[in-house]
């Protein structure tokens, strides 16, 4: 069976973990955490980054930093993972769901514009499959209405919008290093802070609400409880694994992009006369090769395709379920129908894509797909 995903060990991860352990400090904000912070700030130009235990926690920090309260409204795509909105629900906000484009799962800015009210506090965008949302339009809407923008860039490391790193455009950017992502640490996340006014408070929130970071820098004589917060720091063991991956970012990305392109070149021929659609990459976005997916004609076709590929040794999976019609939120949702989000819910299927996927395996997957079309 060709798996859907396989976590990748590039070579130095175990050595760096052993080094972190031998240093005698494996709690948060150790030497490898600092190395990771420096990497992101230098390579992508983020004003300040803070590693977290997950992208979910990075989003929760963003919600706290924006002082989200009951009565606030948060605009977000319905076609996303629950982590995109859960942190804002925990703060008492109302989630106002927006639809996707008809030809791409990303949030449609035209839908955002219709949903803005005086209560709108933030717009949360998701760069689905590492493909950029149309950030110029979104930022213009946000700036005109004095609304913060949070970029859920969980899938978007090394992705760019018109030359700007994803996660660097909004008020905050959040990243994931879950084992299914391009660069991994098992679990783990990152908060990128692009507005300097939030940096000091972010450090306090991340350190259980204390000014402990300032204390260790010698800026205060003692530290204590200064704000609300939680324990958002990952172990330096996680950072050690991540740093080894970051050192190999270009190598990993080059292979993933080669796999993605091989899929696209072969399946463009396979589905040339088919209603099954391939991923779309807008001119304003790069492709970080996080995911290769197909959009089937119907739920029935997708279900059949997944089963037949499984019978022939290929593990494929569908993706998100529209959050506005989820068991938890459907009784709270009173907005319009979101047909595009529902279309991707029913029809999108993801193909295997991981560093060690061979050209021969890609060819086998494409061959099996061609048999299903013929």
Averaged in consecutive runs of 10 residues, what is the pLDDT profile of the chain (374 residues)?
Answer: 94 96 94 98 98 98 98 98 98 97 97 97 98 98 98 98 98 98 97 97 93 70 83 97 97 98 98 95 98 97 97 97 94 92 98 98 97 80
In this structure, the answer to whether residues 46 and 87 fall within a common structural domain is: yes
**Residue 7 falls inside a structural domain:** no
pLDDT score at 167: 98
In this structure, the answer to whether residues 362 and 321 fall within a common structural domain is: yes
In this structure, the answer to whether residues 230 and 271 fall within a common structural domain is: no
In this structure, the answer to whether residues 33 and 49 fall within a common structural domain is: yes
In this structure, the answer to whether residues 201 and 260 fall within a common structural domain is: no
In this structure, the answer to whether residues 54 and 190 fall within a common structural domain is: yes
CATH number for the domain harbouring residue 42: 3.40.640.10
List the strands of the sheet with 94-98, edge to edge.
48-52, 189-193, 172-176, 148-152, 120-126, 73-77, 94-98
Of 224, 247, 270, the residue at which a domain comes to its end is 247
In this structure, the answer to whether residues 163 and 290 fall within a common structural domain is: no
SS3 sequence, the chain? CECCCCCCCCCCHHHHHHHHHHCCCCCCCCHHHHHHHHHHHHHHCCCEEEEECCHHHHHHHHHHHCCCCCCCEEEEECCCCHHHCHHHHHCCCEEEEECECCCCCCECHHHHHHHCCCCEEEEEEECHHHCCCCHHHHHHHHHHCCCEEEEECCCCCCCEECCEECCCCCCEEEEECECCCCCCCECCEEEEECCHHHHHHHHHHHECCECHHHHHCCCCCCCCECCCCCECCCCHHHHHHHHHHHHCHHHHHHHHHHHHHHHHHHHHHHCCCCCCECCCCCCCECCCCCCEEEECCCHHHHHHHHHHHHHCCECCECCCCCHHHCCCCCCCCCCCCCHHHHHHHHHEEEECCCCCCCHHHHHHHHHHHHHHHC
Measured distance CA(307)–CA(4) in Å, rounded: 14
Residue 243 has phi, psi (to 5 degrees) of -65, -35
Q: In total, how many domains does the chain have? A: 2
Contacts of 332 (CB under 8 A, 6+ apart): 94
pLDDT score at 373: 79
Q: Give the CA angle between residues 28, 172, 30 to the nearest 5°.
A: 15
Q: Which residues are paired to 231 by β-bridges?
A: 207
**Residue 1 falls inside a structural domain:** no
**Residue 8 falls inside a structural domain:** no
Largest CA distance in the chain: 73
**Residue 186 falls inside a structural domain:** yes
Contact (CB, 8 A) for 346 and 362:
no
Of 194, 229, 247, the residue at which a domain comes to its end is 247
pLDDT score at 142: 98
Contacts of 156 (CB under 8 A, 6+ apart): 127, 130, 131, 132, 166, 167, 175, 288, 290
pLDDT score at 11: 85
**Residue 4 falls inside a structural domain:** no
**Residue 19 falls inside a structural domain:** yes
Of 229, 247, 265, the residue at which a domain comes to its end is 247
**Residue 193 falls inside a structural domain:** yes
In this structure, the answer to whether residues 127 and 242 fall within a common structural domain is: yes
In this structure, the answer to whether residues 98 and 239 fall within a common structural domain is: yes
In this structure, the answer to whether residues 188 and 255 fall within a common structural domain is: no
CATH number for the domain harbouring residue 266: 3.90.1150.10
29: closest CA among 58, 56, 59, 49?
Answer: 49
Contact (CB, 8 A) for 343 and 101:
no
pLDDT score at 300: 97
Contact (CB, 8 A) for 325 and 333:
yes
In this structure, the answer to whether residues 239 and 266 fall within a common structural domain is: no
pLDDT score at 374: 60
pLDDT score at 65: 98
pTM over 0.85: yes
**Domain range spanning residue 311?**
249-373
In this structure, the answer to whether residues 29 and 110 fall within a common structural domain is: yes
**Residue 3 falls inside a structural domain:** no
């Amino acid at each position: 069976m060709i798996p859907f995903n396989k976590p990748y060990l590039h070579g130095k991860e175990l050595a760096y973990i052993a080094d972190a352990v031998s240093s005698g400090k494996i709690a948060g904000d150790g030497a490898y955490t600092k190395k990771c912070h420096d990497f992101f700030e230098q390579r992508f130009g983020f004003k300040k980054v803070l590693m977290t235990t997950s992208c979910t926690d990075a989003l929760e920090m963003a919600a706290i930093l924006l002082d989200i309260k009951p009565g606030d409204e948060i605009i977000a795509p319905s076609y996303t993972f629950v982590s995109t909105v859960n942190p804002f629900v925990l703060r008492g906000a109302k989630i106002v769901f927006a639809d996707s484009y008809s030809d791409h799962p990303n949030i449609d800015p035209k839908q955002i514009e219709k949903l803005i009210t005086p209560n709108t506090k933030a717009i949360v965008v998701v760069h689905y499959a590492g493909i950029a949302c149309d950030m110029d339009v979104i930022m213009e809407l946000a700036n005109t209405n004095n609304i913060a923008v949070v970029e859920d860039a969980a899938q978007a490391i090394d992705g760019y919008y018109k030359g700007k790193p994803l996660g660097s455009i909004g008020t905050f950017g959040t990243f994931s290093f879950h084992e299914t992502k391009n660069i991994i640490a098992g679990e783990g996340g990152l908060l990128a802070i692009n507005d300097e006014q939030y940096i000091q408070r972010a450090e306090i929130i991340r350190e259980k609400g204390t000014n402990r970071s300032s204390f260790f820098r010698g800026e205060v004589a003692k530290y204590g409880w200064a704000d609300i917060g939680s324990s958002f720091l990952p172990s330096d063991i996680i950072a050690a694994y991540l740093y080894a991956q970051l050192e190999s970012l270009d190598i990993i990305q080059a292979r993933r992009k080669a796999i993605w392109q091989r899929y696209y070149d072969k399946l463009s021929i396979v589905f040339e006369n088919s209603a099954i659609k391939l991923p779309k990459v807008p001119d304003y976005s790069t492709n970080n090769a996080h995911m290769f997916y197909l959009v089937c004609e119907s739920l029935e076709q997708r279900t059949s395709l997944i089963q037949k590929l499984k019978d022939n040794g290929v593990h494929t999976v569908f993706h998100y379920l529209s959050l506005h019609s989820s068991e938890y939120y459907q009784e709270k949702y009173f907005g319009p129908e979101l047909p595009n989000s529902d279309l991707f819910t029913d029809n999108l299927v993801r193909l295997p894509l991981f560093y060690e996927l061979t050209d021969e395996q890609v060819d086998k997957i494409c061959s099996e797909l061609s048999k299903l079309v013929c």
